[in-house]
Amino acid sequence: MCKSPESIHILFVDDLPDTVDLFRALFSLAGYKVRVAYSGHEALELAAQLQPAVICSDLEMPGMSGFELAQELRSMPAHVDSFLIAISGSEESELIEKSLTAGFNLCLRKPVAFQHLLQHIQRSCSS
């Protein structure tokens, strides 16, 4: 059985404010506890404080890429088992393999349908 949305903490990371605002609203309307970060560095700070079960991150961000963020998160004991979802608009063919090697559990290409993303999150949080 899937956990209730209220018990699942999600961190959404992207350097584009419109994308972050949209997903914050959608996750909130679906009943999830969601926080957002606009950079990899900000995401690391929030992840250490909040210990979210799910972290969705863009791959191409200035300062710290999503790949670097995933590697940093996986080096933190609290995030060894977090479900990490990479989201990217890139058409690079090696993107999925590269994101999995960096520590992501799943890689989705933009534009991502919210219901599709939600299904993956619900499956990851089933227990």
Phi, psi of 126 (to 5 degrees): -75, 140
Q: How many CA atoms lie within 13 A of 21 on its CB side?
A: 3
pLDDT digits (tens, 9 = 90+) for 8-58: 899 999 999 999 999 999 999 999 999 999 999 999 999 999 999 999 999
> Tell me: the pLDDT tens digits for 59-106?
999 999 999 999 999 999 999 989 999 998 887 778 888 999 999 999
The closest alpha carbon to 83, from 57, 109, 59, belongs to 57
What CATH number does residue 77 fall under? 3.40.50.2300
Strand order in the sheet with 54-58: 33-37, 9-13, 54-58, 83-88, 106-109
Domain tally, the chain: 1
Q: What is the pTM of this model?
A: 0.92
- Containing structural domain, residue 34: 5-124
Q: Answer whether 55's CB lies under 8 Å from 47's CB.
A: yes
